[in-house]
Structure 1
Amino acid sequence: MPAKRTPSAPGDADKLIAHQSRLLKAPRIAEHYHRLAEQGRDAGWSLEDYLGAVLAVESNARAESGARQRIRYAGFPAIKTITDFDFTAQPAVDRAQIARLESGGWLAEARNIVLLGPPGTGKTHLATALAIAAAHAGHRVAFAPATGWITRLAEAHRTNRLEAELRKISRYGLIVIDEVGYIPFDTEAANLFFQLVSTRYEKSSIVLTSNLPFSRWGQVFGEATIAS
C-alpha cells in the first residue's frame, strides 16, 4: 500500500520554490508563481497550463533582458523606434514597406537594406529602429558611421589583426553603416570598406544609409569597380 504524502507545513512550499528558483537562476518564477496560481485557479487551468505560464514569465523576461543587453552594446547614438518615426513629414517613405522590414524576414535571408536621401529625411532613425527591432528578435547588432567602421578596420590592419577583426564583425547578425559618402574614401579606406561588405555578402545583413544616389558612389570610393 503506497505511503500517504505528508502535507507540507505552511510556508514550506514557498521556501522550496524560492530555493529551486535560485538554483535555476530563474528569479521570476519565485516572483510570479503565487499570482499565476491564483489566476489559474480562477480560470480553471490544467497543471500543464500553469507550468507553461510560469515558464513563459521567466523565458520572456530573459528574452527582454537579452535584448536590452544587445541594444546597450550596439553603439546606437540614440534609441529610435518605427512608432516614433514621423511618416507625415516624410510622405515618400512607404509605411507598409517599413512595417514589413520591421518584421525581420530579410535577416533570415541575409538581405541588405540601403536607405538613400538628403539630410534630415530620417535615414538614421529608420536604420536604428530596424536594428533595434532585430535586437529584440534575438540578433546581435552593431551601429557605427562609415568612418567609424573604417577607423576600426584600419587600426586592425595596422596591427596585423584585420582578418580577426573581420571575423569578429561577421558574428553580428546585422550591422548598420551610417552616412556612407559623408567623407570620400581614400584607396585604403575603400578597400577596407569592400572587405567589410564582401565578408558579409549572403551570410549576414547590413543596413546602409547615404545622402548620395548610387550614381555618385564612384566619387566616394574613387573607383567605379569598388562602388559597383
Structure 2
Amino acid sequence: MRSSSSAAAEIEHYARALRAPRIGDAFRRLGDQARSAGWSYEEYLAAVLSREVSEREASGAALRIKAARFPGHKTLEDFNFDAQPSADRTLIAHLGTSTFVDEAKNVALLGPPGTGKTHLAVALGVQAANHGHRVLFDTATGWVARLQEAHSRGKLAGELTKLRRYSVLIVDEVGYIPFDQDAANLFFQLVASRYEHASLILTSNLTFGRWGEVFGDQTVAAAMIDRIVHHADVLSLKGASYRMKSHQPTADTA
C-alpha cells in the first residue's frame, strides 16, 4: 500500500504533467477538509477539479481583459445609475449577461459627452471577457488608422478577417472627428465585415440622424446604420456631463 507522502508526490507529478498547478496547490488542504467533513471520493475529486477550473477561468479572463486594451477598468457595479436616470437598468443588466455576443448583436450607446457611454461600453466589454469572449477596444479614429495602415500594405481583407475573430470590438467616440471619404469607406467595411458575424459596441455623441455629418455621405451613413441597428440594442443617455458636475463651483455662502 502506498504511503500518503508517495501518493501526494504522484498527484503533484500528474498536476505538473496536466499543467494544472492549482491541483498541486489545493489537493492537501481540500483533502483535510474532505476527511473532516466526511466527503465521498467523488465529492473530493469534484472539489479539486472545480478549484482548478474556476481559477483557470479567472486567469483567462484577466488575460483577455488585459489584451482588450481598455482605457481603464470599469464595471457595471460601479456605474452611477442615480446620476444617470435615463439608463435602462433592466436592459443593461441583460446586456451584462453577454448573450448579445452569442447572438452577434450590437450595442449602440448614444448621448452627450460625459454621460457614461464609455464607462458602459468598457463595463460590457469586461463582462464579455469574463464570459470567455475576446474583446478589443479603440476609438473610431484609432480603428480607421489601423485599417488605413493595413490597406496601405495591401492587407485590408486579412485585417478584417483577423478582427472578426474577436467576439466584440468596441468603437468609442464615433462623431467627435469627421472622416474623409476614404476613412468613411474603411469604417463602413469594418461594420459590414462584422454584420451578423460578431458584435460591435459603439459610443457616439451624435444621434444616428447626424452620422451623415461625420462620414460626409448620407448614403454611406445610412447603409452603415442599417447594418448596425438591424440586430442591436440602442441606449440613449441624457443629461449633463458627470465630469462637469464634479467640477461645478460651490455657491459662495459668505
Cα deviations by residue, 1:12-65 (Å, 9 ceiling, x for unpaired): 112111111111111100111122222223333221221111111111111111
CA distance in 2, matches of 1:12, 1:218: 72
- Among 46, 64, 70, the residue aligned to 1:70: 64
- The residue that corresponds to 1:61 in the other structure is 55
> TM-score, normalized by length of structure 2?
0.85
Higher relative contact order (CA 8 A, sep 6+): 2
Correspondence 1:131-210 to 2 at 5 A:
131-210=125-204
Count the aligned residue pairs: 222
- The residue that corresponds to 1:25 in the other structure is 19
- Among 30, 37, 42, the residue aligned to 2:31: 37
- Among 66, 82, 87, the residue aligned to 1:88: 82
The runs of 4+ residues in structure 1 deviating greater than 4 Å are none
Task: Report the CA distance between 1:10 and its aligned residue.
Answer: 4.6
CA distance in 2, matches of 1:29, 1:108: 31
Cα deviations by residue, 1:172-218 (Å, 9 ceiling, x for unpaired): 00000000001001000100000000000001100000000111111
Structure 1's unaligned 5+ residue stretches are 1-6
- The residue that corresponds to 1:4 in the other structure is none
Structure 2's unaligned 5+ residue stretches are 223-254
1:106 aligned onto 2:100 = yes
CA distance in 2, matches of 1:121, 1:98: 15
1:97 aligned onto 2:98 = no
Question: What percentage of aligned pairs have identical amino acids?
Answer: 55
> TM-score, normalized by length of structure 1?
0.95
CA distance in 1, matches of 2:46, 2:196: 37
2:203 is paired with a residue whose SS is strand
Q: Give the direction of change, closer, same or farther, for the CA distance of 1:40–1:9 in structure 2 (3 Å limit).
A: closer
